[in-house]
């Protein structure tokens, strides 16, 4: 079994914001796997599919970003997900826009959603796929920026990054070694 979690905010008004890139990438993963978000459980919207006979759960927490860890912890407990069977997708202000960075472990950095996930799980050594959002041309406070709608000229850049992140997450779910996935997408 494998759990892919895309972080974001659940309300429609946030859907196309920078802070919801994890949600968008999770949607791409579901599309690539040929499944839809049909179920709600553990404070998350869930899509379920199979890769090589193994169940894959793709989740979008229904909590707000800063409480994402609640849903991740509940899902991990319900499905007995080990840290090796988890990948979290999320936006990251600390890396350039359109970049995809995969890591096997690490801190939350400046991301409150990841801070919540790490605090709730009690460990930080799980895979994460970060989608870069830093744009040197935009000079507004980070809170205003992450909750702003993605600028039209940048939509293709972020769409491509989300698709790459989704592909990478599915490779991890297939059992591909993280070093190989990092080499391909970082």
Strands 86-96 and 127-134: parallel
CA angle (113, 114, 118) in 5-degree steps:
125
Distance of alpha carbon 41 from alpha carbon 45, whole angstroms:
7
Query: Does the annotation count 111 as an active-site position?
Result: no
Q: Which one of 17, 18, 19, 128 is the catalytic residue?
A: 19
Q: In what order do the strands lie in the sheet with 86-96?
A: 39-41, 44-51, 54-61, 2-6, 86-96, 127-134, 100-103
Q: Which residues pair with 4 in a beta bridge?
A: 58, 87
Q: Which residues pair with 76 in a beta bridge?
A: none
Question: Contact at 8 Å (CB) between 146 and 91?
Answer: yes
Q: Residue 71: is it exposed, middle or buried by C-beta count within 10 angstroms (0-12/13-18/19+)?
A: buried
Distance of alpha carbon 136 from alpha carbon 116, whole angstroms:
27
- Point out the residues that are catalytic: 19
């Amino acid at each position: 079994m494998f759990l892919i979690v895309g972080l974001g905010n659940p309300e429609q008004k946030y859907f196309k914001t920078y802070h919801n890139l994890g949600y968008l990438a999770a949607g791409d993963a579901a599309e690539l796997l040929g499944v839809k978000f049909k179920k709600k459980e553990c404070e998350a919207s869930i899509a379920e599919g199979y890769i090589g006979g193994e169940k894959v759960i793709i989740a979008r927490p229904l909590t707000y970003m800063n409480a994402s860890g609640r849903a991740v912890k509940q899902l991990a407990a319900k499905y007995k997900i080990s840290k090796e069977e988890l990948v979290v997708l999320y936006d990251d202000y600390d890396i350039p826009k359109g970049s995809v960075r995969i890591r096997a472990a690490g801190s939350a950095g400046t991301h409150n959603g990841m801070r919540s996930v790490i605090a709730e799980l009690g460990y930080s050594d799980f895979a994460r796929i970060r989608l870069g959002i830093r744009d040197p041309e935009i000079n507004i406070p980070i809170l205003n920026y992450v909750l702003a709608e993605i600028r039209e000229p940048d939509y293709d850049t972020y769409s491509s990054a989300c698709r790459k992140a989704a592909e990478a997450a599915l490779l991890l779910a297939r059992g591909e070694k993280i070093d190989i996935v990092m080499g391909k997408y970082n």
